[in-house]
Amino acid sequence: MAETPQDPAVPESQAVPAERGPRHRGNTGSHERKESGDTKKQKSFWRELPLLIVVALVLSFLLQTFIARVYLIPSESMEPTLHGCPGCTGDRIVVEKLSYRFQEPRPGDVIVFKGPDSWSTGYVSTRSDNVVIRGIQEVGSLVGLVPPDENDLVKRVIAVGGQTVECCDDQGRVLVDGKPLDEPYIKMDFPFTPGVLTCETEMKSGRCFGPVTVPEGHVWVMGDNRSNSADSRYHVGDENQGTIPLDNVIGKARMIVLPPGRWGMIDSPEIQTS
- The DSSP code sequence of 218-231 is EEEEE-SBGGG---
Assign 38 a pLDDT band (cuts: 50, 70, 90).
low
Enumerate the β-bridge partners of residue 244. Answer: 219
More confident residue, 58 or 121: 121
Mean confidence (pLDDT) of the chain: 82
Assign 20 a pLDDT band (cuts: 50, 70, 90).
very low
Please say if the pLDDT value at position 198 is more than 50.
Answer: yes
By annotation, the residues acting in catalysis are 77, 155
Q: Looking at residue 144, what is its pLDDT?
A: 59
Q: What percent of the chain has pLDDT above 70?
A: 78
What global pTM score does this model have? 0.76
Exposed e or buried b per residue across 150-181, where buried means at least 16 C-beta atoms within 10 angstroms of its C-beta: ebbbbbbbbbbeebebbbbeeebbbbbeeebb
User: Do 79 and 187 meet the contact criterion of CB atoms below 8 Å apart?
Assistant: yes
Please say if the pLDDT value at position 191 is more than 60.
Answer: yes
